[in-house]
Amino acid sequence: MTVLLVVATPGELAPIRGALGASSSVDAALSRQCHAGRTVDTLTTGVGMVATAVHCSRALARVHYDFALNVGVCGTFDRSIPLGAVVHVIADRIAELGAEDGDRFITIQEMRLLREDEPPFTNGALVNAAPPANFALDRLTAVRGITVNTVHGNARSIDAAVERFHPQVESMEGAAFMYACLVAGVPFAQVRAVSNVVEPRNRRNWKLAEAITRAGETALSILEHA
């Protein structure tokens, strides 16, 4: 089995780098190692949707992967999800893709530039309808997410995002990863650990280090059950 493990930053990979074993460099963003009898290509994309889309598309065009796994952190709109919890994002939206009409936001689908079910979208969202069968993955709570270029930190914009999309979590890369995998036809999963509540920015309340550690532990478990 050949797996593509996608992270945004080297820091998100740091807790599990040693466990993955010795690696060889494929290029500046991609390294290859063997873990639990599987070939694991680790792709570090950089932060944001553009970097993630470009690097994921390039990697998926070069190699046929049996499974692609995006691991990272996220903020949560849903206060019932505790900080440090690891979730499986099964539906994601590109929250800022659209236009402003005064105080109103119009989605790209409402603008009729994209149909609600135009591939790879389902009802305006990127949906993982058939995640790989995996014991460790199946244990995670499934959630809905949005992906943003600007992380929410303003009460008014947070309320607007919640009213518009009803998300449980947000990240800066997830939808781009899912879009690339859906287009390439590669089985995939987006897995994230909650580092903070989405609220007016207050880093003192964040548990980023704990979230990165938990995300790494979960990634290893998923790889071992792949």
What are the tens digits of pLDDT across the range 11-51? 998 888 888 877 787 888 999 998 888 899 999 999 999 99
According to the model, what pLDDT value does residue 50 have?
97
**pLDDT tens per residue, the chain (226 residues)?**
999 999 999 999 888 888 887 778 788 899 999 888 889 999 999 999 999 999 999 999 999 999 999 999 999 999 999 999 999 999 999 999 999 888 888 888 989 988 999 999 999 999 999 999 999 999 999 999 999 999 998 899 999 999 999 999 999 999 999 999 999 999 999 999 999 999 998 888 899 999 999 999 999 999 988 8
According to the model, what pLDDT value does residue 28 have?
84
Residue among 223, 70, 218 at smallest CA distance from 147: 70
CA distance 138 to 132: 9
Q: Report the 10 Å Cβ neighbour count for 20.
A: 21
How many domains does the chain divide into? 1
According to the model, what pLDDT value does residue 14 have?
87
Domain membership of residue 130 as a residue range = 2-225
| 70: region left, alpha or beta (phi > 0 left; psi from -120 to 50 alpha) | beta
SS3 128: coil
CA distance 126 to 176: 9
Q: HSE of 17 in the Cβ direction (CA atoms, 13 Å)?
A: 13
Asked if omega into 120 is within 30° of 0 (cis), the reply is yes
Residue among 188, 213, 193 at smallest CA distance from 17: 213
Do 154 and 47 touch, CB atoms closer than 8 A? no
User: Angle CA(213)–CA(64)–CA(134) in degrees, nearest 5?
Assistant: 45
CATH of the domain at 85: 3.40.50.1580
